[in-house]
């Protein structure tokens, strides 16, 4: 089912899905590797290293069934599949899911038999109870106005002792200074950042026990500053976030740095386990 909402328009309006596939075929005739896809399909601060850290927080079981909520173009999913995880990606933006599947079909070692993409809203997960061992959020809860309902849904679909891991943008001490556009929102209408205290309280009140909470802000700032330098060096990169966001990305990328420096946003990495409540 395709959703039409201003948030979906935000993500789809500049997406050059057909051209991006032509570009990939032309530059990588034997199929792109996951690092080659990363500038396109890891739509968060920290790239593949951040996704690897998040996946490593999951305690494997056999098989490990992982739901990536707000999976975007699926960079983390393909990394998870290389670890042997059965990855389901769920996203509201239908054209992201279609491109995600095409990328998996083209990529080298993407582990595609264990990759599934679903178009749906995180508020109403189209899955039965207890069918996942882990749920992942990577820069996606930041778009969700009803985080409480989303957490109820996560608790429902997780197995007993299931795990929730997240790498999320939260509001910093100077959130009123947040400048737009940023990659997840062109204006405050689609940015739903929680404070760290509110996020912790929400998770605990919805039956999650926090096992690990790391403030990732300094690492994120260093990474984003390095990316900004690369983006400003005139050379023709095969892939970049501009294939998704268009020319707006130049400003979005600068604003990310500005918002991190000014304390408008922070980044956290969290691991929590599920308990009956
Ligand atoms: C900033 S992107 C991050 C994508 C991906 N997690 C990554 O790190 O590359 C946020 C994603 O969350 C998705 N999203 C936002 N709200 C959602 C919702 N209520 N249900 C499902 N997906 C949602 C958006 O469509 C978008 O693909």
Q: What is the pLDDT along the chain (277 residues), one digit of tens a residue?
A: 677 799 999 999 999 999 999 999 999 999 999 999 999 999 999 999 999 999 999 999 989 999 999 999 999 999 999 999 999 999 999 999 999 999 999 998 765 567 999 999 999 999 999 999 999 999 999 999 999 999 999 999 999 989 999 999 999 999 999 999 999 999 999 999 999 999 999 999 999 999 999 999 999 999 998 988 887 776 667 899 999 999 999 999 999 999 999 999 999 999 999 987 7
pLDDT at 62: 86
- Ligand 1 centre to CA of 120 (Å) is 11
Give domain status of residue 215, yes or no.
Answer: yes
- Ligand 1 centre to CA of 275 (Å) is 26
pLDDT at 229: 83
- Ligand 1 centre to CA of 135 (Å) is 14
Give domain status of residue 150, yes or no.
Answer: yes
Output the residue whose Cα is nearest ligand 1's atom 11. 70
Question: Which ranges of the chain does DSSP label H, i.e. alpha helix?
Answer: 6-12, 17-27, 34-41, 47-56, 75-82, 94-106, 147-157, 196-205, 217-232, 242-245, 248-261
Give domain status of residue 52, yes or no.
Answer: yes
Give domain status of residue 154, yes or no.
Answer: yes
The preferred substitution site among 49, 90, 140, 248 for testing ligand 1, maximizing ligand atoms within 8 Å of CB, is 140
Give domain status of residue 10, yes or no.
Answer: yes
121 CA closest ligand 1 atom index:
20
**What is the residue whose two structure tokens read 């899955």?**
127
Pairing verdict, β 65-69 and 115-119: unpaired
Give domain status of residue 223, yes or no.
Answer: yes
Q: Based on the structure, what is the number of domains in the chain?
A: 1
Rounded distance between C-alpha atoms, residue 246 and residue 262, angstroms: 25
Residues with CB under 6 A from ligand 1: 11, 42-44, 70-72, 75, 90-93, 96, 121-123, 138-140, 143-144, 183-184
- Ligand 1 centre to CA of 29 (Å) is 29
Output the residue whose Cα is nearest ligand 1's atom 15. 143
- Ligand 1 centre to CA of 89 (Å) is 10
Rounded distance between C-alpha atoms, residue 121 and residue 89, angstroms: 12
Q: What is the CATH number of the domain that holds 182?
A: 3.40.50.150
Note the pTM of the prediction, 2 decimals: 0.96
Rounded distance between C-alpha atoms, residue 99 and residue 11, angstroms: 13
Give domain status of residue 1, yes or no.
Answer: no
Rounded distance between C-alpha atoms, residue 95 and residue 9, angstroms: 10
Structural domain boundaries, residue 109: 6-274
- Ligand 1 centre to CA of 91 (Å) is 6
Closest Cα partner for 87 from 126, 113, 53? Answer: 113
- Distance from the Cα of residue 236 to its chain's centroid: 25
Compute how many other C-beta atoms are within 10 angstroms of the C-beta atom of residue 70.
Answer: 24
- Ligand 1 centre to CA of 227 (Å) is 21
Output the residue whose Cα is nearest ligand 1's atom 13. 70
Output the residue whose Cα is nearest ligand 1's atom 14. 70
Rounded distance between C-alpha atoms, residue 162 and residue 176, angstroms: 36
* Three-state DSSP class for residue 138: strand
Rounded distance between C-alpha atoms, residue 261 and residue 156, angstroms: 38
């Amino acid at each position: 089912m395709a959703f039409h909402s201003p948030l979906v328009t935000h993500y789809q309006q500049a997406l050059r899905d057909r051209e991006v596939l032509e570009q990939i075929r032309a530059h990588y005739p034997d199929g792109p590797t996951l690092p080659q896809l990363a500038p396109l399909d890891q739509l968060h601060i920290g790239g593949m290293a951040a996704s690897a850290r998040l996946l490593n927080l999951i305690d494997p079981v056999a098989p490990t069934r992982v739901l990536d909520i707000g999976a975007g173009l699926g960079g983390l999913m393909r990394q998870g599949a290389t670890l042997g995880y059965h990855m389901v990606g769920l996203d509201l933006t239908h054209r992201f899911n279609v491109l995600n599947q095409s990328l998996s079909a083209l990529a080298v070692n993407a582990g595609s038999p264990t990759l599934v993409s679903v178009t749906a809203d995180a508020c109403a997960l189209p899955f039965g109870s207890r069918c996942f061992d882990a749920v992942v959020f990577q820069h996606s809860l930041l778009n969700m106005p009803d985080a409480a309902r989303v957490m109820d849904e996560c608790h429902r679909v997780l197995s007993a002792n299931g795990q929730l891991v997240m790498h999320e943008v939260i509001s910093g001490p100077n959130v009123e200074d947040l400048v737009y556009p940023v990659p997840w929102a062109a204006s405050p209408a689609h940015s739903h950042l929680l404070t760290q205290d509110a996020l912790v309280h929400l998770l605990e009140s919805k039956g999650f026990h926090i096992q690990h909470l790391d403030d990732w802000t300094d690492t994120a700032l260093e990474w984003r500053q390095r990316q900004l330098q690369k983006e400003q060096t005139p050379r023709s990169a095969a892939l970049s976030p501009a294939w998704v966001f268009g020319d707006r990305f130049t400003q979005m990328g600068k604003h990310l740095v500005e918002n991190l420096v000014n304390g408008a946003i922070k980044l956290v990495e969290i691991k929590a386990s599920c308990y009956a409540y």
